[in-house]
Structure 1
Amino acid sequence: MSRRTLAGGLAIAAALTLTTLPVASVAAEQASVRFPSAKFPLGTRPAATKKTTTVAQGIDLYDVKAGTSTDGYTVTVLMPSGRDYGTLRTAEAVVVEVEAAGETPSLQKVIRPGVADAPSQTVYMVRVGLWSFKDKKKAEKTAKTLKKAGLKVKVDYLGDDGLKTTGPWNVKVVMIDKKAFRGSYAASLGKSVAKRETVSSMVKAGKALVGVNGGFFNIHTAKALRGEPVGASVVNGKLLSEAIPGRSAVVLRGRSAKITELTTTVSAVSQDGEKAEINGVNRAAATDELVLYTEEYGAKTPTGGTDAVIDPNGKVVGLRTSGGKIIKGMRVLHGNGVGADWLNEHAWQDWKVKITTKVVDLRTKKALKLTPDLNVIAGSVGLVRNGKVKITAKRDGHDSMNMILRRHPRTLLGTTKNGSLILATIDGRQPGITVGANFVEAAQFMRWLGAKHAINLDGGGSTSMVVDNKLVNRPSDGSERGIGDALLVLPK
């Protein structure tokens, strides 16, 4: 879709500036990860302003701003499905409805780019009017008129489309030089798995130098349980959430970080030799499932089933009706339906039930050693692999038009050729201030920063970066959101 420039076609004339704290020249020459000198890679490749702050040995924070605001507003007419796009036939029918309401519609063809595991998609949108940034109220007035005519519409800021834009972008980047950094990386779920917590809170509790939000958390479960990660979570060598097989993840061990894909298996073997698959860890249970709950869960087990309370030695200290707390130092194997039947038949009081946990790296086909220095955070979408853009949106469950093409705030993680770590936030959903990025732009941005491998973590209102106990980015919700887990950069 072509678009004419709004607001007089403002030219991009931001000059490159650099403000740095004193750093030894020898250290700079030996740095294994450096901020690029080339122009900002998005939009029309504008020059950018950059402010650099040394956080600690081997850790630099970059505050980057690029581009200018030339986008304005339009009114998008929704399809009968409720989506803002549809087939050509559906869109043409909507055009007729808009004309009947006395407005002049525009039928726009939009091509969502193909990614590594999903082909391109051609759709059509129906829009009315084009207003400059300062004339948003005129767009809102037209939207009101169309609503009175019985049409469902929304006012759209064109910078969010994911098509051509001049920005602006507001970006924070933390580069951690593996050669100079002397600390370590960790994952945190906060005070419990079930409850959501801000990155700032987890950074403070962990005495971390830097923290960013982790992967997606489950917003489709009971409100009190929505801190549960969607995908693999390992904290200090303990599996606290099972993997979604094959989904991107970052494996942290000491001061090393590796992007890969994981699968997990958890099983129970009774002393009578009967074996059962454990379907999940620290999440709501579906019908006929066995779910393992650890003391980190922070909520009661589900009602309507059977609980086997198991001590650290694997001994069943008692069976109970489900819906109780997890006692410190204990684990609870919960079952309902077929799962409850297995517990009642093979997890009698004072029997031993051996629970085995296995986390496998699908790239190496080897199991990870679940030692105390191991931490894992699930990503949402793979972006870069072996230095090339490889967006695995379908495999990772995010191959929609909204996720691939439209711009959103992003939290990004990448590793360089020598294993240095790059963390970045691109703020968005703030018209005139910062537009965010789509998946393709996020991948291009991480390659520009020098990432050999990169993934997209949770984004949107969850995007948060905390440095030295200060929130340094500007979340789109207007304040920091409680999230499921966080990646922490520790001084030791």
Structure 2
Amino acid sequence: MSRRTLAGGLAIAAALTFTTLPASATQQSVRFPSAKFPLGAQPVPTKTMKAVTQGIDLYDVKAGTSTDGYTVTVLMPSGRDYGTLPTAEAKVAEVEATGETPSLQKLVRPSVADAPSQTAYMVRVGLWKLDDKKKAEETAKKLKDAGLKVKVDYVGDDGLQTTGPWDAKVVMIDAKTFRGSYAASLGTSVAERETVSAMAKAGGAVVGVNGGFFNIHTAKNLRGEPVGASVVGGRLLSEAVPGRSAVVLKGRSAKITEVKTTVTAAAQDGQKSDVNGVNRAAATDELILYTEEYGAKTPSGGTDAVLDAGGKVVALRTSGAAVAKGTRVLHGNGIAADWVNEHATADSTVKVETKVVDLRTKKALSLTPDLHVIAGGVGLVRNGKVKITAKLDGHDSMNMILRRHPRTLLGLTKNGSLILATIDGRNPGMTVGANFHEAAQFMRWLGAKQAINLDGGGSTAMVVDGKLVNRPSDGAERGVGDALLVLPK
């Protein structure tokens, strides 16, 4: 394995370490693995187990030791910490002009199922042990004073070779003995964010983990909106991003698949229109459906058709008002507002037809009260093999694939048992988190035949019996868009 030494005498490997998992990792029953920990130098993990309730066990898993330290990373003109070789070489010259000794580091982001590998270059200065962060900060200040944009980085976050450590919480739910059910929750509304603890308490859940990604690029008061499909109690509350991964929950069964959603408005006069979205901000010329779960006002600058439970148009109004309980609102602006005004006339009927299709079976899901869907971030394992669909799922960047972050993971064994796991990260010396390849290895090690990455980073949270059992990287539990709940009945 090639190695590059940075100033300070410590070494960083320029490639990921992959482990061939033993046959025991494909076990059919939900038992904690006896094989060596799959990450790093394959240390023997320590674990403690707590029986939560019938069919549910919680494991506290720790492995590895801390040997990583700090370095100073020079930012490229793009603002990123990596760039092309010529760009990086130009930064090397700028650093040398300050009197410091830079290191040019080749960075290879490994390939995934739907995206090739990517090579980039970083420029770094110095490498200090974990307890010498102040020295790294002093060097960073010197470089900033010289006009360079830099940041202090913990090397364990890079995603390259590491010895850890790792701190994970794992809930194993035995399909043979578990007598409860699974559900999704968006809290009190789609638009608002809430903690997993609050949603678990309100739902009476014995276990809860954060769900899919939520939209941080919309208006501040709407940032609870899921990015992708959300079905709660058989009601579609957020449309799918076509083809992206999702977990489908029904009773005490769970399935990882990809879904597509379609919503159509059919007016009484026979005219139909595609509905572009559900419970989100509207773009120009879009027709959007808002349900009573939205929790915010419809956008201004358009027309609202207020529908009762039977689809009767009970009011036409200028948009920008709340969605009353027991109603839905078809909102249009631009061309879509023209459609609403022409076809959703007062006292007429507009039927809203909703369909959620499982793209693996090509069959529509029955939108019954026990059906729930949570959008995933990235598919990790399929049919027992690593299959990372980062590009399809919208997360094929260097930061998402290679770098280590806290992770929330969901897996299914061959017999349908559910595995929920969190790997804490961004805590130097205590836990390094995982990149996508490491997350996939970890779930295979636990026995998952299918696995998916949910939201992570500061959102990663696991609540068991009303108690937060992991340590969120923000220092406190973050409000998130939705949660997966394990209910006692």
The answer to whether the superposition gives a TM-score over 0.5 is: yes
CA deviation profile, 1:335-391 (whole Å, cap 9, x unmatched): 000110000000000001010000000000000000001000000000000000000
Partner of 1:413: 410
**Which residue of structure 2 aligns with residue 110 of structure 1?**
107
Distance (Å, rounded) in 2 between the aligned partners of 1:444 and 1:176: 20
Residue 189 of structure 1 corresponds to which residue in structure 2? 186
Residue 233 of structure 1 corresponds to 230
| Aligned-partner Cα distance in 1 for 2:293–2:444 | 37
Secondary structure of the 2:169 match is strand
For residue 293 of structure 2, give the secondary structure of its aligned residue in structure 1.
helix
Write out per-residue CA displacement over residues 80-110 of structure 1, whole angstroms, 9 at most, x where no aligned residue. Answer: 1111001111100110000011110000111
How many aligned residue pairs are there?
A: 472
**How far off is 1:2 after superposition?**
2.4
1:257 is aligned with what amino acid? A
Residue 293 of structure 2: aligned partner: 296
* Structure 1 position 8, deviation (Å): 9.1
Change (3 A) 1:347 1:142: same
Residue 39 of structure 1 and its aligned partner are, at CA, apart by 1.1
Q: Name the residue aligned to 1:60.
A: 57
- Asked if the contact 1:308/1:347 (under 8 Å) is kept, the reply is yes
Unmatched 5+ residue regions in structure 1?
10-29
1:361 to 358, 363, 367: 358
Distance in 1, Cα, partners of 2:148 & 2:452:
39
- Aligned counterpart in structure 1 of residue 391 of structure 2, from 385, 391, 394: 394
SS of the residue 1:345 aligns to: helix
1:404: Cα distance to partner?
0.3
Specify the alignment match of 1:16 in structure 2: none
Q: Over the residues paired in the alignment, what is the CA RMSD in angstroms?
A: 1.4
Q: Return the match for 1:170 from 157, 162, 167.
A: 167
Please list the CA deviations of residues 112-151 of structure 1 after superposition, one character each: whole Å capped at 9, or x if unmatched: 1000000001111000001111111111000000001100
1:460 aligns with 2:461: no
SS of 1:91's equivalent in the other structure is: helix
CA contact (8 A) 2:28 2:415 kept: no
Question: In the TM superposition, what is the alpha-carbon distance from 1:415 to its structure 2 partner?
Answer: 0.6
- Kindly provide the amino acid, as one letter, of the partner of residue 233 in structure 1: S
Matched, 1:477 2:478: no
For residues 144 and 423 of structure 1, the distance between their equivalents in structure 2, rounded to whole angstroms, comes to: 42
Find the residue that maps to 1:480 and give its secondary structure. coil
CA distance in 2 between counterparts of 1:345 and 1:31 reads 58
- Using the TM superposition, give the Cα deviation of residue 32 of structure 1 relative to its aligned residue in structure 2, in angstroms: 2.4
**Residue type of the alignment partner of 1:2:** R
State how far apart, in whole Å, the 2-side matches of 1:130 and 1:8 are.
Answer: 7
Q: Per the alignment, in what secondary structure is the counterpart of residue 103 of structure 1? A: coil
Q: Distance in 1 between matches of 2:180 and 2:48?
A: 24
2:448 is aligned with 1:448: no
Report the equivalent of 1:78.
75
User: What one-letter code is carried by the residue in structure 1 that aligns with 2:99?
Assistant: G
> Structure 1 runs of 4+ off > 3 angstroms?
3-9
Query: How far apart, CA to CA, are the structure 1 residues paired with 2:452 and 2:259?
Result: 14
Helix, strand or coil at the partner of 1:295 = coil
Shift of 1:4: 6.1
Q: How far does the alpha carbon of each residue in 1:284-323 deviate from its partner, in whole angstroms, 9 at most, with x for none?
A: 0000000000000011111110000000111000100001
| Corresponding residue number in structure 2 for 1:45 | 42
- Cα pair 2:308 2:328 within 8 Å, conserved: yes
* Helix, strand or coil at the partner of 1:297: coil
Map of 1:203 onto structure 2:
200
Name the SS of the counterpart of 2:443 in structure 1: helix
Work out which of the residue numbers 254, 258, 263 in structure 2 matches 1:257: 254
Say if 2:311 is the partner of 1:314: yes
Quote the Cα distance in structure 1 between the aligned partners of 2:144 and 2:35.
Answer: 47
Residue 96 (structure 2) pairs with residue 99 (structure 1): yes
- Cα deviation, 1:141-197, whole Å, max 9, x if unaligned, reads 000000011000011100000000000100000000000000000000000000000
Query: Which residue of the other structure, out of 124, 128, 152, is the alignment partner of 1:127?
Result: 124
Aligned amino acid, residue 421 of structure 1: L
C-alpha separation between the residues in 2 aligned to 1:131 and 1:298?
49
Whole-angstrom CA distance in 1 between matches of 2:456 and 2:297: 29
Amino acid at match of 1:105: P
Percent identity for Structure 1 against Structure 2: 81
Asked if structure 2 preserves the Cα contact closer than 8 Å seen for 1:7 and 1:132, the reply is: no
Matched, 1:2 2:3: yes
Amino acid at match of 2:214: F
